[in-house]
RNA sequence: GUUCCCUUCGUCUAGUGGCCUAGGACUCAUGGUUUUCAUCCAUGCAACACGGGUUCGACUCCCGUAGGGAACGCCA
């Protein structure tokens, strides 16, 4: 019986989740849902110096808000023993060798090769050290790391990428790369692939910056699988693992999305009033487009129609304006009975003589792009800005006061008759009197919302100003 | 520098040799609806990076050029 499908998202707790990482997480989740698999979140926290306190909690909070659920969590920091075992095995089976080259020497070598127009890869200097020399250096307590001994006859490393199709790299294009740090701990490539294999991950979907890590990791996995007596989970065939590399997400200036070029955090989107469903929808629409041009999709629909194989392979720009539109469309589809609850967090700072009812929300709802626009649109209703009306404006306001009635058909005609104002000349002064703005709510609705006493009060203030 | 990858309207994309005088969506502009604004509706602007091949025919295949990206870390 085949293994069950497992995808993974492997964030480092070094900062907040940005859109790029988020998309990787979401796509992994989406695919796991689509093919009936599970999603593992593996926290890559081996570099303790770079770990940020609280970052992990924040990541999980963001994932939860978006509805990206995981089946379990692992921490690389708790798996050091396994890595150590594997390293011992690799040493014993002769797949790695100690390298005593200093950072300075390595850097010198790199520069020299660069100057010669060659790729700056490790020369393999320590690969051919005699056992005696190695013993001597170790006895002298010279610091060293372990490098993978890439088989010279390995040839081409290949895999069929979920997104980019067949990929191939010549094994000897890589220098023997480092697997352990001076302190003996595992580097990223080693820890990452050991975990993926050991945890039975079946689909490794990650950013395209990992493309050239993939052949390295395949090489590592092959060496690990050959260790005599290694635990069986690590002998799993790397060829059965599927890799997929997601194209980069760019900011409007076509550079990699980062704080510098205005990348927003998940929390910022939440505060702005972007719905999770919209963010997911927008994220899916980058590098991929839905069949039949139907772009507004619920998460359920996304699961149905999304195909990772149909993603484009070039980096693409994430457009805020499209997200805004997508969100406005999802907002329009929000069921009536959920509106109040959704709006609630955005009504906090809104104090005034009127209670914000569902009916008032309905008035502004169709024109919203994000929920944070609600207070902006409602503010004039609660606390209109002071006005400097012209004499004519005052005359119009006074006319309504004189013959006050809330009946639109009647007052509108009366005011018009006594002042001669109609159209904009009639409505603009009055709307300014009631809301401080020329545009916005229809007078009919305003009268309804504000009520007689508030209208009279504002008209009087207006005339007196 | 080397290796690998990428290149269709401003943006996201459709397009797998004739259906393409290149389609859709967002943005923008104009008009209509609305007492205003917004919504909504309609219309419009706008692209195959460049140069060579191959072919009866190329956005689509091949080669080159240019531009962009990633990798080449005892970071992940």
Q: A456 with A404: CB under 8 angstroms?
A: yes
| Prediction ipTM score | 0.93
Residues A320-324: what's their mean pLDDT?
94
User: Are the C-beta atoms of residues A221 and A140 closer than 8 Å to each other?
Assistant: no
Note the CA–C1' distance, A301 to B10, in angstroms.
Answer: 30
pLDDT per position as a tens digit, A348-388: 888 778 888 899 999 999 999 999 999 999 988 888 888 88
Pick from A345, A373, A360: which is nearest to A451 by CA?
A360
pTM: 0.92
Q: What are the pLDDT digits (tens) for A8-32?
A: 999 999 888 888 889 999 999 999 9
Determine whether the distance from the CB of A443 to the nearest atom of strand B is below 7 Å.
yes
Nearest protein residue to nucleotide B7 (CA to C1' distance) is A314
Q: Which contacts (CB < 8 Å, 24+ apart) does range A226-235 have?
A: A226/A93, A226/A95, A227/A86, A227/A89, A227/A90, A227/A92, A227/A93, A227/A95, A228/A89, A228/A92, A228/A93, A229/A89, A230/A86, A230/A89, A231/A198, A233/A197, A233/A198, A233/A200, A234/A86, A234/A194, A234/A197, A234/A198
Query: Residues of A from 375 to 404 whose C-beta is within 7 A of strand B: which are they?
Result: none
What is d(CA A126, CA A175) in angstroms, rounded to the nearest whole number? 12
Could you write out the DSSP letters of every residue in A398-430?
Answer: HHHHHT--S-HHHHHHHHHHHH---THHHHHHH
3-class SS of residue A204: strand
Mean pLDDT in residue range A435-464: 86
Q: Is the CB of A334 under 7 A from strand B?
A: no
User: Is the distance between the Cβ of A209 and the closest atom of strand B smaller than 7 Å?
Assistant: yes
Q: What is the pLDDT of residue A1?
A: 36
Using the CA of A328, which nucleotide's C1' is the nearest one?
Answer: B39
Strand B reaches within 7 A of the A409 CB: no
> Measured at the alpha carbon of residue A282, what is the angle toward residues A276 and A288, in degrees to the nearest 5?
140
Q: CB < 7 Å to strand B — which of 230-289 in chain A?
A: 247-248, 250, 254-256, 285-289
């Amino acid at each position: 019986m085949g293994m069950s499908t497992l995808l993974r998202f492997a964030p480092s707790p070094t900062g907040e989740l940005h859109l790029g990482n988020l998309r990787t997480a979401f796509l992994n989740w989406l695919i796991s849902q689509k093919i009936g698999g599970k999603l593992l979140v593996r926290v890559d926290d081996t570099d303790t110096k770079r770990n940020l306190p609280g970052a992990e909690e924040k990541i999980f909070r963001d994932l939860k808000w978006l509805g990206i659920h995981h089946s379990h969590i692992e921490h690389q920091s708790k798996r050091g023993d396994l890595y150590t075992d594997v390293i011992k095995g690799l040493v014993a089976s002769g797949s790695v060798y100690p390298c005593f080259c200093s950072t300075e020497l390595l850097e010198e070598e790199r520069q020299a090769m660069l100057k010669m127009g060659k790729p700056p890869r490790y020369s393999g200097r320590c690969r051919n050290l005699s056992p005696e020399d190695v013993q001597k250096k170790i006895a002298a307590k010279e610091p060293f790391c372990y490098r993978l001994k890439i088989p010279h006859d390995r040839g081409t490393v290949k895999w069929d990428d979920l997104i980019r199709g067949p990929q191939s790299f010549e094994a000897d294009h890589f220098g023997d790369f480092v697997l352990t740090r001076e302190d003996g701990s595992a580097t990223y490539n080693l820890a990452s692939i050991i975990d993926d294999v050991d945890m039975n991950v079946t689909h490794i979907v990650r950013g395209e910056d990992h493309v050239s890590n993939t052949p390295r990791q395949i090489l590592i996995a092959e060496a690990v699988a050959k260790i005599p007596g290694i635990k069986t989970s690590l002998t799993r065939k790397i060829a059965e693992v599927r890799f997929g590399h997601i194209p980069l997400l760019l900011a409007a200036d076509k550079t990699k999305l980062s704080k510098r070029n205005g990348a927003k955090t998940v929390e910022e989107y939440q505060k702005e009033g972007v719905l999770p469903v919209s963010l997911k929808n927008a994220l899916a629409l980058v590098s991929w487009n839905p069949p039949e041009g139907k772009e507004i999709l619920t998460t359920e629909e996304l699961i149905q129609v999304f195909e990772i194989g149909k993603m484009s392979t070039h980096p693409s720009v994430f457009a805020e304006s499209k997200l805004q539109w997508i969100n406005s469309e999802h907002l329009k589809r929000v069921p009536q009975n959920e509106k109040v609850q959704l709006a609630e967090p955005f009504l906090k700072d809104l104090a005034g003589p009127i209670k914000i009812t569902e009916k008032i929300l309905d008035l502004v709802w169709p024109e919203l792009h994000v929920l944070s626009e609600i207070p902006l649109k409602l503010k004039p209703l609660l606390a209109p800005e002071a006005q400097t009306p012209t004499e004519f404006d005052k005359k119009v306001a006074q006319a309504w006061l004189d013959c006050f009635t809330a009946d639109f058909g009647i007052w509108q005609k009366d005011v018009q008759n006594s002042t001669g104002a109609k159209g904009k000349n009639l409505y603009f002064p009055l709307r300014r009197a009631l809301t401080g703005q020329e545009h916005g709510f229809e007078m009919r609705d305003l009268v309804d919302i504000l009520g007689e006493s508030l209208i009279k009060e504002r008209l009087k203030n207006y005339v007196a100003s």
